Structures are given as C-alpha cells and as structure tokens.
Amino acid sequence: MRGTINTKKTEMQKFWKINDSKSNTLIFIKDKTIYKGNPKQDELNKLHPESSDLSFLDTLFSIPYSYIKRIENQIGQNEIKIFYGKDSEDELIIEDKNTRNNVFEFIKKDNPNFKYSTELPSVLNYIKAQLFALLFSSGIFIWSLYLAIQIEHGVEYELVGKGRPGIIGIIFIIANLGVVKIVSGFIILFTIIVVALTKRLKSRSETEFLRR
C-alpha cells in the first residue's frame, strides 16, 4: 500500500512529505535553496505551513539555486536530477509522477532565470557511457588476445620500466591468462555491457530541462 503524500505551501517556501520514500521523506524549498533528506519522524509530524522553527533544515542536504547548472525531469523515471557545482550530481527520488512534476514545476516557476526546454535525447548522447565501455573493453580484448596468441606461439615479452605498469602492464597481465580465459571473460563482459546498453536505450524518453 502506498504512503500518502502531503504538500504544503507558503509565500516563500514549499515542502513535500513523501511518506513512502526511503531516500528523501522530505523535500523542502525555501529561500532559493532545495533541502532533502530524512528528518526525524517527530519533526515531520510537527511540520506545517505556519512552522517557525525550521532549525532541523540544517541537518538536511541542501543545494542553493545559485549552485545549480541544470535540472532534468525525464518521463518514466522516478527522480529529478540536479547538476551543480563543478561536476556534482544529486537526485530527488519521487516515485509518484504527479508529485515529481509538481516539484519540478515549482522549481521552474521559482527560477525565472533558468531556461526551460523539452528534448528527446539523441541516441548517441544517451548511451555514450555504455558505448564507451563497449569500445574500451573491445580494444583491451583485441590487444590482449593478440598478445596471448603470440605468447602461446612462443613469443616472449618483457615489461620495461619501473613503477606502476599502467595500461600496458594490465594488458600484459590479461594476455598471460591465455586465449581461452580471455575470450570467455570478454563474452561475459560483452553480454553485461550489451544488456545495460539495451536497457538504457529502452528508457530513452522526452526530458524536461532547466538550464542556467
């Protein structure tokens, strides 16, 4: 049975109590800052539109609007993604679609300086992480397999230099496992990556953006 979701609003703030969430039972937006977390239950119970003691907000994770670079709300997903700072990312986990859209819409109206747009991400951009993993692992496989075949035919290799072996040393170690183990390992890894890539493609859908 789903928990209930309560929302309250004042002129300068709005909050959502998400009773069935394990990630953020409270999302609170106040003074151009997004707070999220799991405050104590008694604090949640006492929270209402006229609450004046909000000291507990200091214990929650917070992201000021001024830090935010981009916000994404993708159809079919259960989170709002927030990109902020240099390379930081966080999420507001909200299972209920209407509540998730309501949170995004409030942030949108509360940030007139953000540019709103909707897009269907390109296939290449959407799967670039999985595609890179596939290409990188394929390169490692081909290189190490070639060395393994050479080693099994009597060719001897020797690593030259001190310190950490780096990528060449790793490939050399893999090559010494033998052709059969390398091929078996790559088949398993390739299958995992292809399954992840397929799931990623299936989840591609229209996304709402707020960009600075």
Q: What is the pLDDT along the chain (212 residues), one digit of tens a residue?
A: 444 555 554 446 899 999 878 889 999 999 999 999 999 888 888 888 778 888 899 999 999 999 999 999 999 999 999 999 988 999 999 999 999 999 999 999 999 999 999 999 888 888 888 899 999 999 999 999 999 999 998 888 776 666 666 788 889 889 999 999 999 999 999 999 999 999 989 889 999 999 98
Show the beta-strand stretches assigned E in 32-168: 33-37, 61-64, 68-74, 79-84, 88-93, 115-119
Q: Per the structure, how many domains does the chain have?
A: 2
Q: Are residues 99 and 179 in the same domain?
A: no
Q: Are residues 94 and 152 in the same domain?
A: no
Range of the domain at 132: 125-202
Q: Are residues 103 and 168 in the same domain?
A: no
* Kind and range of the H or E run holding 208: strand 207-211
Q: Is 46 contained in some domain?
A: yes
pTM of the predicted structure, to 2 decimals: 0.72
First to last CA, the chain: 39
Q: Is 210 contained in some domain?
A: no
Q: Are residues 143 and 105 in the same domain?
A: no
Q: Is 208 contained in some domain?
A: no
Q: Are residues 21 and 76 in the same domain?
A: yes
Q: Are residues 71 and 107 in the same domain?
A: yes
Q: Which of 113, 133, 167 is the last residue of a domain?
A: 113
Q: Are residues 83 and 155 in the same domain?
A: no
> How many other CB atoms are found less than 10 A from the CB of residue 71?
25
Q: Are residues 84 and 36 in the same domain?
A: yes
Q: Are residues 179 and 103 in the same domain?
A: no
